[in-house]
Structure 1
Amino acid sequence: MTNEIKKAFNGDAWHGNHVMQILNNVKPENAFNFFIPNSHSIAEIALHLTAWTEEVTSRLMGNLADEPIMGDWPVPDKQTPQYWEKIIFNFKVANEELIRYCESISANQWDDEINEASNVISGKLITKRELVSGLTQHHAYHAGQIALLAKF
Structure 2
Amino acid sequence: MTAREMTRPKSDFDALKQDLRSVYGGDPWHGSSITTVLAGVDAKTAARRSIPKGHTIWELVLHMTSWTREVTSRVRGSPPKSPEDWPVPKSDGGESAWRAAKEDLGTAQKELERAVDALKPKDLLRWIGDQRDPMLGTGQTVGTIIRGLMQHHTYHEGQIAILKRAAEKGKQATRTDK
**What is the TM-score of this pair, normalised by structure 1?**
0.92
8 Å CA contact retained: 1:35, 1:41: yes
Aligned counterpart, 2:118: 104
Partner of 1:25: helix, strand, or coil?
coil
Bigger helix fraction: 2
Aligned counterpart, 1:42: 57
Bigger strand fraction: 2
Cα deviation digits, residues 10-68 of structure 1 (max 9, x gap): 11111111011111231222110101111011000000000000000001111111111
Corresponding letter in the other structure for 1:142: H
Q: Which runs of 5+ in 1 are unaligned?
A: none
1:150 to 158, 164, 167: 164
8 Å CA contact retained: 2:42, 2:98: no
Aligned counterpart, 1:62: 77
8 Å CA contact retained: 1:22, 1:146: yes
1:120 CA displacement: 4.5
1:88 CA displacement: 0.3
Aligned counterpart, 1:76: 89
Partner of 1:126: helix, strand, or coil?
strand
Aligned counterpart, 2:132: 119
Aligned counterpart, 2:32: 17
Cα distance in 2 for residues equivalent to 1:104 and 1:34: 39
Matched residue pairs, number?
Answer: 147
Structure 1 residue ranges (4+ consecutive) displaced by more than 3 angstroms after TM superposition:
none
Q: Which runs of 5+ in 2 are unaligned?
A: 1-15, 168-178
**Whose relative contact order is higher, 1 or 2, with alpha carbons under 8 Å and at least 6 apart?**
1
The RMSD of aligned alpha carbons is: 1.4
Cα distance in 2 for residues equivalent to 1:91 and 1:24: 13
